[in-house]
Amino acid sequence: MEEMDKDIIRDYSGALDEEKQLRFKIEFYGNMKNCWINLAICLSVGFFGIHKFYLGQKNAGFLYFGMGLASIILLMIGKIVALCCSPIIPMLRTGMMEKFFFECGFLPVIFFIILGSLIALVLLILIIIDIFTFKKQTREANTEIAKTISSGL
């Protein structure tokens, strides 16, 4: 157990009698979040926000999940449209540039790929921030757990 977890236990159970302290500790140990598990989840499936759900941050988890799913879908749509337009590539050599850009769907390809990439980039930045602040986030989640437990005793 980390020192920060001991501080949380001391802060939220110090004023309780022995029986309630024991109940608090049992419930806290059963519900507390581990910072290393949080980091492992963030590194492995952070793109889908699972680490946010682990910490009890459902709104952030849904945001990460939506951004991850949206970026994948947009990039796939861009790739599919690009594959559908690939027979048109010879038009570039024959000088039919306008037809390629406006009639064959090259602009939607660029739009979907750029939008999907931008969403993925924002999500990647958020995940990098989470990697560098995983201990703080875990401590905050454990503090919320301790508050909930102590208010229920």
pLDDT digits (tens, 9 = 90+) for 62-72: 999 999 999 99
Q: What pLDDT sits at residue 81?
A: 75
The mean of the pLDDT values for the chain is 85
Q: Which residue type does 127 have?
A: I
Q: What is the torsional sign of CA 91, 92, 97, 103? A: positive
Q: What pLDDT sits at residue 6?
A: 81
Q: What pLDDT sits at residue 64?
A: 97
What does pTM read for this prediction? 0.79
Q: Is the pLDDT of residue 10 over 80?
A: yes
pLDDT digits (tens, 9 = 90+) for 75-94: 998 888 777 765 555 555 55
Q: Please count the structural domains in the chain.
A: 1
Instruction: Give the closest residue to 34 by CA, choosing from 17, 14, 51, 10.
Output: 51
88: containing domain:
3-152
